[in-house]
Structure 1
Amino acid sequence: MGKVRSKCTRFTKKADSIIINHMKEPPICYAKIKKEIPEYTTKQIRQRWTNQLDPKLCHDPLDEYDEILIIKLVKKNRKPNGTICWTTLIPEVEAKTGKKRSENKLKNFWYSRRGQVLSKNYIFSQDDDVLLSQDGDASGGARDDDNVLPFRDDNEVLSRLDILCQEALKYDFLQ
């Protein structure tokens, strides 16, 4: 039998202030914080800090540059078995944008894009060079130069979603 999950308790302002005060004083010990707020697990406390309370976090929405950067970094850092180590992406995103993003923000962006791509009914051919629609036509819109972000010119202006989908469609999400 698995672990019994305790009833979810929303974080209060008091609990948040306890966490923030403890995080100011090294060493960081989530078990010590849990003693003061026993209604939360150490994992919940850590996640609350890393995804919400850390003052270094940027809570602004992702801009176009951030989104394209995340797609490229996922492509670069994705392991052969398809897993993505999000904790290694966070410092890379911060180094390139100057904004520290939470693991949840990166994951939510990536997996929401994956869902959008899958909802378009595209699949990869066996050689991964041609995108096929569900009926088997090579009408997925893939071009030879899809691996390069297009320049915006008057003849061919691609929307932000088109660019993101072109980048995201290079991954085999159906594993």
Structure 2
Amino acid sequence: MHSKAVYFTEEDDNMIIKHMKIYGKFTNRFVIINGLMNEKFTNSQISERKLYLFQLVCKDDLGYYKKVIIDDEVQRILMTSVKIRWREVIRELFRLFGKLYSENKVKNYWNLKYFRSKMKKDIKNDAKKANEKSKPKSCSSNYSKGKSKEHEFNPY
């Protein structure tokens, strides 16, 4: 099932720009703006429209050095805090490279990398467990010592 097409009018765009200037620093800014616009659009639609309107966000792919910086920044943040503050990572990228990347692009890179590494560890652990189950536990079984009753010589 396809979703209905969303059309933003010039009035809607102006309201988003106006409200982003006021509520842009809030964590739940899109929820607030959506409420002020009488829930005409979803939060994600407003978020996507904001990216289109401001055109500050770089649409290029993340390069090798940018990925290294993201990894370092996230590791640095995780050493001091449980929660990753993505805006700090984005600010550091902007400071070093002069390009502003969307929060989604940075998050998607990190989460994909994190879950891939987690999956690899799980696959390796599963393979180790499977190998341990298929191997005999020890070579000192009764059969290997020649004491198995099934293979005893019985002439009668």
TM-score, normalization by structure 1: 0.51
- The answer (yes or no) to whether the contact 1:9–1:40 under 8 Å persists in 2 is no
Structure possessing the higher radius of gyration over alpha carbons: 2
Count of residues in Structure 1 that have an aligned counterpart in Structure 2: 116
- The answer (yes or no) to whether the contact 1:86–1:107 under 8 Å persists in 2 is yes
Residues 15-164 of structure 1: pairs in structure 2 closer than 5 A: 15=8, 18-25=11-18, 27-28=21-22, 30=33, 34-35=37-38, 38-41=39-42, 43-44=43-44, 46-49=46-49, 53-78=53-78, 80=80, 82-121=82-121, 134=125, 135=128
Deviations 1:105-158 (A, max 9, x none): 111000100122122227xxxxxxxxxx6349xxxxxxxxxxxxxxxxxxxxxx
Structure 1 Cα separation of the partners of residues 108 and 92 of structure 2: 17
- 1:119 maps to amino acid: M
The higher relative CO (CA closer than 8 Å, separation ≥ 6) is in 1
- The answer (yes or no) to whether the contact 1:74–1:84 under 8 Å persists in 2 is yes
Identity %: 21
Question: 5+ unaligned residues in a row in structure 2: which ranges?
Answer: 24-32, 130-156
Question: 5+ unaligned residues in a row in structure 1: which ranges?
Answer: 1-7, 123-132, 137-175
Distance 1:87 1:11, change over 3 A: farther
Structure 1 Cα separation of the partners of residues 83 and 113 of structure 2: 16
Determine which structure has the larger helix proportion and give its number.
2
Root-mean-square deviation (CA), in Å?
Answer: 3.4
Q: CA deviation at 1:60?
A: 1.1
Q: CA deviation at 1:48?
A: 2.4
